Amino acid sequence: MRRRHAFHGCLGVGSLLVVALVSFGCTTLQSTQLPPEELRYGIRSGDLVQPGDEISVVTVDGAELVLVARDVDDAVIRGELPGGEEATVAIDDLVALRTHQVDPVRTGFAVAGGSYALTLLLWVFIGFTIVFGAA
């Protein structure tokens, strides 16, 4: 009986691990399809970019930057690049914007599927252990 309780503990811990790992991987990019003037207005008004948002921006010269917005004012977006460097982008230079968002539906299905797969694998392992004996 003790052996079964140990496997149940592994099942719970393993399921939590799968849930945590899968939850971080289900983000989507949402492109904002607006003319540059409306895009800039939406950024300045706070409707499109908030501090803490992970964004990808394209500037008039074609450069694309991915950053986490730290501060947005009427002139610039200040943030941090993936390497930890500070970046400042002039809002008047922006022509396209994509925001990184967690997709709750995909995350839910991924978590449920991952948990089910882990549970199934653990029960198969338990079955083999019971049938063939513990090593």
Q: Which two structure tokens, joined as six digits, stand for 127?
A: 């079955």
Q: What is the pLDDT of residue 113?
A: 73
- Rounded CA gap, 26 and 109, in Å? 10
Q: Left (φ > 0), alpha (ψ -120 to 50) or beta: where does 131 sit?
A: alpha
Calculate the CA 66 to chain-centre distance: 14
Residue 98 near residue 55, CB atoms below 8 Å: yes
Question: What predicted TM-score, i.e. pTM, was given to this entire model?
Answer: 0.55
3-state SS, residue 47: coil
As a whole number, mean pLDDT of residues 127-133 equals: 78
How do strand 54-59 and strand 94-102 relate by DSSP bridges?
antiparallel
Inform me whether the pLDDT recorded for 1 exceeds 50.
no
